[in-house]
Amino acid sequence: MSALRASVALVLATSLTAGCTERQLIDDGGVSTPTTPAGTTRLERTVQRSGDPEAGWDYLRYGDYIGSGVPADIFTALIGGEPPNRLGREGDSASIPYVFNRFETPTGVDVVGGLNCFGCHSSYLNGEFIVGLGDAFSDFTSNQTGQFEQARELVEFRYGEDSAEAEAYAIFLRGASAAATRTTTPFRGVNSAFLLEEAVARQRNADLSWSDEPVFDLAPRLVASDVPAWWNVKKKAALYYSGIGRGDFARLLQQISVVGVYHAEQADGFDANFPDVLAWIETLEPPVFPDVDTLDPEVVERGHQIFEATCSGCHGTYNEVHEYPNLLVDADVVGTDPVYAEAIAASGLSDWYNTSWFGDYGAAAGDSSYVQPAVAYVAPPLDGVWATAPYLHNGSVPNLMTLLDSSRRPTFWRRDFQDSTYDTNSVGWPHQVVEAGLDVDTYDTTIPGYGNQGHTFGDHLDDDERRALVDYLKTL
Ligand code: HEC
Ligand code: HEC
């Protein structure tokens, strides 16, 4: 599947645990208080547009938010085979890979678009497919621009150069080609979403019309990141690792559409569905740790005490009532690699976003969403954190045991990307520690932006304490 996805991704660009216990979340407004730790800012939760979760789940699986794509018959001929129907889709959508949607363009062309949300926001763990878990197996290491042209020839040959089909593909192709210039990563497992978006957004005017001349410069060094789990969105006051996504979340969620959207009127149509998408995302619950019942309650309780004494100030509490402080922590306070946050702050993408259809220019500007860069990282909710390896915003740390002991973090570590067997002991991805950046399966923490330094808050613990703390984290 991943080889297929790797090649097709660029050509084209549940654990919905029903009946889970409702947890209460304290929303304490969000201003700096005397108890806010130094170097941290408390983010304020804002009222979100409400929607229908069921409709959101359907829109995510069948919706047109990618905008344009490859005419469906040509796509089907190129792909062949019968991939597994991971999203439980019906009709024509049942037989295409789960990472793509089949939909109609504004000109009535039946297309398959580029990567849908699940192309990056679903993954495998112990052989199980988990919707909403960030993809830990992605492969953005190669650039397949060559195949774009091949598909263009097919479309034009079959439908004619002036057809609506050729137009649908051309709109998609210009976005996907712009994106391809920036999406390549040095190794697997990290995701280029913001690089991709920056590369395409600069080819669009504020009203989303295409501009052959770029409207802003590329940031000197944008880097790829890990992909956060969706089940924590409901606790957050700001989206994204560096907390840049503010205001109306539904609008922020649509950014992938810059690749293939026809025009602002089509985007207004997407926008009407995204409050539903947000509502569905907010129903997600984290997966439960395997054999969680066999953990020793006394050890877990010891871990709980250590957590509340050492970690809760930033990450909140996970008792009957959850208190999550929504803290944005300065990069020099958490000490993790600042390059990701710095690069986003330096990119023209933020100003573009804020003045484009997504921000002030939007049809529903009353719901205004905006981007506010900061050289800082959000201390994330730790619900289901056992399942979200690798750790930190750049995915540079393979497991929880080494996250809590910075002296043991590997500089170069190599994973088997064919195997989703999880290490439930150290809690993360099984790996080999190697001497150098051997190949695309090896994470190289010496590359700027991919450093594994900082977050040394577990370093002072001894091994027994660390183990107890990790056992507690398994229960969240
Ligand atoms: C090409 C891969 C890719 C695609 C496609 C994609 N995302 Fe993401 N998404 C990411 C990455 C990477 C991040 C993390 C960026 C960051 O936080 O700085 C992210 C972050 C998010 C977040 C923020 C979560 C948090 O905890 O802050 C949400 C919500 C989200 N995406 C929703 C969506 C939706 C909805 C779609 C489809 C409309 C989508 N994404 C499509 C890669 C992708
Ligand atoms: C001063 C605030 C602060 C304290 C104290 C703190 N953390 Fe964090 N933690 C953060 C921030 C900020 C991040 C995100 C850093 C990044 O991604 O670069 C983070 C990230 C993490 C992550 C990675 C989450 C993921 O999915 O990648 C884990 C796990 C974690 N912390 C656990 C702990 C534990 C356990 C403790 C107590 C020993 C602790 N933290 C103490 C601020 C803090």
E strand or H helix at 24, and its extent? strand 24-26
Average pLDDT value for residue range 261-288: 97
Nearest protein Cα to ligand 1, atom 5: 117
How far is ligand 2, taken at its centre, from the CA of residue 379, in Å? 6
Which residue out of 242, 305, 455, 463 has the highest number of ligand 2 atoms within 8 Å of its CB and is therefore the one to mutate?
455
253 lines ligand 1 (CB under 6 A): yes
- 224 pLDDT tier (thresholds 50, 70, 90): very high
Residue-level pLDDT at 219: 81
65 lines ligand 2 (CB under 6 A): no
354 lines ligand 2 (CB under 6 A): no
Identify the weakest region by mean pLDDT among 27-41, 147-161, 279-293. 27-41
Listed by start position, the domains of the chain span 2-474
Give the span between the Cα atoms of 150 and 211, in whole angstroms.
24
How far is ligand 1, taken at its centre, from the CA of residue 121, in Å? 7
Residue-level pLDDT at 35: 61
pLDDT, tens only, 355-383:
999 997 765 555 689 999 999 999 999 99
pLDDT, tens only, 249-259:
999 999 999 99
Enter the DSSP assignment of 392. T
Average pLDDT value for residue range 247-269: 96
Which ligand sits nearest to residue 344's alpha carbon? Answer: 1
The rounded Cα 19 to chain-centroid distance in angstroms is: 26
Give the span between the Cα atoms of 137 and 415, in whole angstroms.
10
Peptide bond between residue 373 and the one before it cis (omega within 30 degrees of 0): no
pLDDT, tens only, 416-450:
999 999 999 999 999 999 999 889 999 999 999 99
458 lines ligand 2 (CB under 6 A): yes
236 lines ligand 1 (CB under 6 A): yes
Residue-level pLDDT at 197: 94
Which ligand sits nearest to residue 474's alpha carbon? Answer: 2
328 lines ligand 2 (CB under 6 A): no
pLDDT, tens only, 310-321:
999 999 999 988
379 lines ligand 1 (CB under 6 A): no
How far is ligand 1, taken at its centre, from the CA of residue 361, in Å? 22
187 CB burial (10 A radius; 0-12, 13-18, 19+)? buried
Nearest protein Cα to ligand 1, atom 33: 253
> Which numbered atom of ligand 2 lies nearest the CA of 376?
12
Q: What is the sign, positive or negative, of the torsion defined by CA atoms of 303, 189, 438, 196? A: negative
Q: How far is CA 241 from CA 7, 163, 320, in A?
A: 28, 42, 27
* Concatenated DSSP letters of 251-278: HHTTGGGGTT---HHHHHHHHTTHHHHH
* Concatenated DSSP letters of 53-95: HHHHHHHHHH--TT---EEHHHHHHHH-S----TT---GGGGG
232 lines ligand 1 (CB under 6 A): yes
Give the span between the Cα atoms of 412 and 401, in whole angstroms.
16
Phi first, then psi: give them for residue 323, nearest 5 degrees.
Answer: -115, 115
239 lines ligand 1 (CB under 6 A): yes
Which residue out of 123, 133, 315, 406 has the highest number of ligand 2 atoms within 8 Å of its CB and is therefore the one to mutate?
315
Which residue out of 101, 120, 340 has the highest number of ligand 1 atoms within 8 Å of its CB and is therefore the one to mutate?
120
Q: What is the sign, positive or negative, of the torsion defined by CA atoms of 379, 340, 118, 438? A: negative
Percent of the chain with pLDDT over 90: 82
Q: Model pTM? A: 0.93
How far is ligand 2, taken at its centre, from the CA of residue 58, in Å? 34
Phi first, then psi: give them for residue 403, nearest 5 degrees.
Answer: -60, -35
Nearest to 190 by CA among 391, 418, 463, 438: 391
Does pLDDT of 220 surpass 70? yes
Q: Outline where 112-217 has alpha helix (H).
A: 145-159, 164-180, 193-201
229 lines ligand 1 (CB under 6 A): no
329 lines ligand 2 (CB under 6 A): yes
